[in-house]
Structure 1
């Protein structure tokens, strides 16, 4: 019974990973350049820019 539970939980984890992978937003090259240039211009601080673009600050800096 324990092995069946492990198999079911592994299958559920894989299903969740697949859903996240398919629903992840993909940014075009133009979008990436636009966001970085907006950050370099310095109009808003980077936290506000990231919030406007709906991205995390870690993603912006990477």
Structure 2
């Protein structure tokens, strides 16, 4: 019986994990700014948004630290995976272009040497 309870609890946790909402950066910023405005309590805001207050405070801390770094002149940021993927594809295309141009250049030089 205890094994069934354990199994049911783990199943519920698994379902919650899979159905958890992923917030976009825009949504996180909106929620943090709403909390900073102070028009309602953080507890009320979190209830309305369906998030844990610890998550709100984590987002708030990250938001403020990012702003502080930016204002301090730190313009370095991490690229998103889409940006990295696009850059890798562009890199492959450019390497292919260099290879084609090098081959064409070599062929032209051979033909020029053979004619002259």
Runs ≥4 residues deviating over 4 A:
15-18
1:5 corresponding residue in structure 2? none
2:16 corresponding residue in structure 1? 20
Q: Which runs of 5+ in 1 are unaligned?
A: 1-11
RMSD of the TM alignment (CA)? Answer: 2.1
Q: Compare CA radii of gyration and give the structure with the larger one.
A: 2
Q: 2:42 aligns with which of 32, 42, 46?
A: 46
- Aligned residue pair count: 54
Greater RCO (CA < 8 Å, at least 6 residues apart)? 1
